[in-house]
Amino acid sequence: MRSRELSSDGRIWSNDKWTRYAFDIAGACAKMSKDPSTKCGAVIVRSNRTIAATGWNGFPRGVRDDMSLLENRPEKYPRIIHAEMNAILSAREPLDNYTLFVGPMPPCARCAGAIIQAGIKGVGFVAPDRLPEHWEHEMRITADMFHQAGVALGYYGTPESVGWPING
């Protein structure tokens, strides 16, 4: 994939310092996750380039971050809230026409639905050069949903290229 970024109104531009800043914030959010297998972060940015909300993958507020649950996928998956959803749920304002930056994986189809319903019009993401096989179908659904809803989707680069830890 070729690196490109999204402006907050959905236009593509090249290596803008504000886009890099948004991904740096999303990367800092990813470091907050207690998930031992994948640390994801997200930031929602207003059209004036200020931050509306942040999120990372983790259990809901008030639910114990018990490592025995985080390390047990059948127990973890029903409890975990993805970074994109956490950012949307943490926002205290309408998100119409805002841009979401996320990584180190693109949004899943369920998060794509929430992004669309929230009115977000641009999504920039970092992801590995090759997605895990079980994610390829999911990403096709996500891309199709965004296309139908008019949400711009842009790839920024790999987690390593922006200095993100993938795990740990």
| Active-site amino acid positions | 84
Contact 57, 100 (CB under 8 A): no
CB 153 within 8 A of CB 123: yes
Q: Characterize the bridge pairing of strands 41-45 and 51-56.
A: antiparallel
**Token pair for residue 24?**
């740096």
> In whole angstroms, how far apart are CA 159 and each of 54, 91, 164?
18, 25, 5
Q: How far apart are CA 126 and CA 162, in angstroms?
A: 8
